[in-house]
Amino acid sequence: MDDVTALRALLNDSDPRAGATASFPDRQRARTKAIAMLDAAPARRPLWRRIPVLAGAATLVAATTAAALVVGAAGGGPAGIPSAYAAPPDPIEVTGGAPEPGAERLLDLADTAAEGDDAPGDGDVAHVSSTGQELLTVTSFAGEEPSEDDLHSVGFIPYDWQYWQGPGGDMREISTAGEAEDTRGDVEEHREFLDDRSDDFESTMDESLVLPRDLPTDADILAQTLLEWGNDDVPADSPEADGALVNALNHLYENRPLDADERAAALRVLSGFDGVEYAGSTQDPLARDGELFQIRIDEGSQTNEYRYVFDSESGALLYRDVTLLEEEPGESSLAQHGLELPVTVSYRTFVWSGWVNGIGDRP
């Protein structure tokens, strides 16, 4: 009996990777939180992916199993994305003057968006394709407690994403990963984590996690809907609310096309964040003109800056990134992995968003 077989026999029903599917309501709730609040709420997993790795062959397999990140390649080449978009774009920079208050500009853009066209496509299945990059950090603990002998690795992983969701909650997500870029630390010790991060996952969501075909177009109601979506009763006036709301908004853009009134409502939600700034005109990595807005959110153990590029005519989101500005020191800090803040830990360019006839269909 090999180590993997022995470990899975030991885990038995507790093995999170056993079978073709895992208790989907639990997995989807965890996944929704990890994306809808993932990248930074206090006492939750941060946006970049951290894998705990233990010493020894069997415990190394256990870490792989518990992480449940990937289960094999999703096919050669980018999934439905033109070849010119296959390489991950560099985080964009804006030239010009100092940032200025952005709430009024966002409200003006929301008014423009409301007069625009609805999301393309005639079907009832939501489809979003995007491309970008995420930071993966790995730590090998040499013993029960962190020590100077622990091994740390980092890698910036480029991805192409395809996501579908049907009206009944049927969903499919294809993540096609490229080779890790800008790897640092004890990389070869963790090569299996840094390579082959692709996945093709499909299942049926719990009905409580399925958003309606038509979203609220009132900004306050949409904000409350997003706070309740996949979160455990996060009050709007709680310290966690801003982090939960901005990550739920990110999750919405990554998984749903928005009609004109819905785009306008989302822009009005963003305008309600304290300190939102207009940074200037720019181009996204696909050379599309847009307007860049940014917000800084203190989430207890860390402070993140979220930047968004919106099309100035339609209000559609073209690009977003997240930069870690400050963090508390500790074993899992980026400083321990040889990175100096600020670090852009994730960015995503939105290639196409609209409606198709069936899961797996592409425009």
pLDDT digits (tens, 9 = 90+) for 70-111: 222 222 223 333 333 334 456 677 766 789 999 999 999 999
Per the model's pLDDT, the better-predicted residue between 30 and 71 turns out to be 30
pLDDT tens for residues 271-311? 999 999 999 999 888 889 999 999 999 988 899 999 999 99
**Residue 212 pLDDT:** 83
| Residues 158-167, mean pLDDT to the nearest whole number | 94
Structure tokens at 353: 């968003």
- Better pLDDT: 67 or 326: 326
Q: How far apart are the C-alpha atoms of 93 and 72, rounded to whole Å?
A: 34
* Helix 241-255 vs helix 260-271: crossing angle, to nearest 10: 160
pLDDT above 90 (res 209) = no
Measured between alpha carbons, how far is 13 from 19 in angstroms, rounded to an integer?
10
Query: Whole-angstrom Cα distance, residue 254 to residue 193?
Result: 24
- The bridge status of strand 49-54 relative to strand 125-141 is parallel
